[in-house]
Structures are given as C-alpha cells and as structure tokens.
Amino acid sequence: MKIMSINAGSSSLKFSLFDMDTNDVLVSGLFERIGIEGSCYTIKNSEFKIKQEAVLNNHADAVKILLDKLIELKIINSLEELDGIGHRVVHGGDKYTDSVVVSDQVVEDIIRFSDYAPLHNPAHAVCIKAFREVLPNTPMTVVFDTAFHQTMEKDRFLYPVPYEWYENYQVRKYGAHGTSHRYVSKKVSEVLVKDDLRIIVCHLGNGSSITAVKDGKCVDTSMGFTPLAGVVMGTRSGDIDVSLVPYVMEKEGKSVGEIMDALNKKSGFLGVSKLSSDSRDIEDAIKEGNEQAILAQKMFVNSVVKYISQYYVEMGGCDVLAFTAGIGENSISTRAEIVEQLACLGIKLDVEANNVRGELTCISSKDSNSLVYLVPTNEELMIAMDTLALIK
C-alpha cells in the first residue's frame, strides 16, 4: 500500500510517500514560499533530486504539481495507487485524543481551533481541502500533534488561574510535538521489548519540548497552552514571568501583539545570543569564545535539565532518557552538557558512544542508572502508520 504524509505550513507543503509494505520512502519533497514571490519545490528520492521554480499562488497549486509530478516521474502510474493520505495538524484542542478520518466536521474543528495555533491550523485546513478536491475518493486522515498529550491528568494540564477560564475558554496545557514524542517512546519500547517504561523524551530543535511518558502514555509535557511555553528555543522564550509583558509594553510603548511577536520570534537563542536562532551557529560562536553564545547555550541546557529533573521525580524515576530532533540527534556537545548536569541522578554518558549523529544508539555508560538513547524521530512515518491503521 502507498500512503502519503502531508505537513503543511502557512507557506509550505512537505510530503513523504511511503510503501507501507516495507515502510520505505518512495519519494519526498518540499514546496516552499507558497503565495510568495520566488516559490519553488524540491522532489527527491535515492535516485534523483529535482529543484525547480514554480508559480505557487496557493496550496491547491502545490497539490496539483505534486500529484502531476508523481505520475510524470513514474513514482505511481495513476492517482488510484494512492491508498491514503495522512495530514499532520498542530492543534486538535481537547476534543481529539487520537488520529481520525477526515470529515467535514473534522475540517470545521481544525478551523475552530485556529485561535490556539493561528500560524498552522488555517494552513492545514486549506491543504486538506485542496487534496479532497482533487482526490475526493481517497481516504484521508488527520494526526494531531496535541492528541498524544490528552492522557495528562487534570492536575497536570490545568493552570492555577480562575477555574472559569478553563470552563469558558478551555485555558489549559495542550503541549505540542506529540507525534514525535509518541514515535520516539514507541520506538524505545520496541527496541527494549518492554511496554512498562518510564521514558523522558527530549525533542530538541528550533522548537523544543520535553515529555514524560509512562507505560506508553503522556504524563506531563513542557509546552503549554501554546508552543511558546517550556524550555528555551530557537526564537521562543520558553517559560517567563507573564508580568514582564505589561512592564515592557509600558517601557517601549508597544502593543500586546508586538511583545508576543518578540517572545515568539525574537527571543530564545536569537534573543540572548544576538546572533542566530540556529544552534549550529551558536556552537560555532562558542568555539570562538562568544560570551553571548555561551550564555544562550547555558540557559538552554539549564531549562532542559530543569524539566528532565522534574519529570524524573514525577514518575518516580526514569528508565530511559531519549534525545531526538535536530539538536537532540546531532549535537554531541549539547547531549553531553545536559547529561553532565544529571550526574546526581546517576545518569551517565559513554563518551565514545555519544560521538554519533542521527543513528538509533544507546549512548549511556554501563553504570548509568538510566539508559540514554539517541532516537531519530520520524513523524512522517508515524502519520503514515496511523493512516494505514485507520483506513484498514
């Protein structure tokens, strides 16, 4: 069976087509700058890579080119060979606790939850509509990033604010990166052939979140009502005292929107380092003795360690600490700095084993109290697997 995973952004469309008999990627690619001048697309597999400019006025244009190219490149002979399409959607509110088959109601709900993810949900809805228009008879599903976190108990997802805010406006912690956290924790359980595990998953990238997983279910997670909360990130501040918002508004004569824009897009690595939001640039600057870069890295590591320590206590220990995503999979030094601060918990790295990037590897020392793993995430495959299960 052939199933396609779709991840749409406000001006992008990322895709992967899987052969579900082998879980192999037949082809993948990215449509960029949709609705913006200079739009283009990249399509590739093990045999070729095509990058080309194209007029992409909207997501419908991208969908049409994508499907035409699949046939032109002989990846498929006809659109009937597409057995299913799975769409990644950031926010499903507290209504969706699992992946679902697409329906008119599901699309309406995605739009309704746009207040929680204004940069993402509207684009997801537009993309789903574009695919449904071209492929009305192809089964489609939605995999929500928030769904995995819906197993949190009320005392973990509620905020200590007037309870009416939750009752009237659904103010609560929702989390994010749920598809990645679910994939990584599932992969760890498969590798260790054990389901009753206490796993702390560190999804560390430009956007970062930490999740406590016990017996396959989310116990707690670092992101909150929006993806702004939690650890220090590429451009997001992570946890702050909300009182600084009106304070800086008054000092600089800015609106709430302007301050929120700064906290989402001009903070984190970028804000502290004054250099870049990319951790690779931060690491390069650290080697040159850049004090701001050193400070930004320390703040990032401290925030990650804080959540790992909290979840270690919440679950009464940790069987596996897993690193994933861009930084987690590729930054040898960051993993080492984080685990070094966890020495009091008896968690230790094997220095030689840690000298690896992007490969499923156990990197803890033999005398470590918890196993430490590097686990490459694969949200696209998780989406395809959910789609396969639903359409069957």
Between CA 129 and CA 108 the distance in angstroms is: 11
> Which residue in the list 61, 109, 145, 220 is annotated as catalytic?
145
- Which residues lie closer than 8 Å to 109 by C-beta, 6 or more apart? 92, 93, 95, 96
- Whether 334 contacts 299, CB under 8 Å: no
172, 223, 226, 216: which is closest to 194 by C-alpha? 216
Between CA 261 and CA 269 the distance in angstroms is: 15
Q: At what angle do helices 178-192 and 379-391 cross, to 10 degrees?
A: 90
145 is catalytic: yes
Between CA 315 and CA 317 the distance in angstroms is: 5
Between CA 377 and CA 327 the distance in angstroms is: 12
Between CA 150 and CA 179 the distance in angstroms is: 12
- Whether 60 contacts 130, CB under 8 Å: yes
Cα dihedral 144, 148, 151, 155 sign: negative
Between CA 112 and CA 93 the distance in angstroms is: 9
For 367, the token pair is 């005398």
Cα dihedral 80, 84, 90, 92 sign: positive
3-class SS of residue 19: strand
- Whether 210 contacts 200, CB under 8 Å: yes
- Whether 195 contacts 215, CB under 8 Å: yes
Residues with a known catalytic role: 145
